[in-house]
Amino acid sequence: MFLELWQTATRFDPGKGGAVSWALTVAHRRAIDRVGASQSSRDRDMRVGIRDREELP
């Protein structure tokens, strides 16, 4: 997380809010991305599992 903040520090605009708020927003967005990726992975696994099961004799 800290590395991402360091690498994207140029995106911070003090005119839009404080540094802590910006860091929390970055963390929140990262968490949402992880949940979405996890859900997509489960959905994909289910589709493949259902397809493979239907192919069994």
- What average pLDDT score do residues 19-27 get? 95
- What is the pTM assigned to this prediction? 0.66
Quote the CA–CA distance of 27 and 30 in Å, as a whole number. Answer: 5
Residues in the chain: 57
Quote the CA–CA distance of 55 and 15 in Å, as a whole number. Answer: 58
Neighbour-count burial for 1-17, b at 16+ CB within 10 Å, e otherwise: eeeeeeeeeeeeeeeee
pLDDT, tens digit (0-9, with 9 covering 90-100), for 27-55 = 999 999 999 888 888 888 888 777 666 66
Residue 5 contacts residue 26 (beta carbons within 8 Å): yes
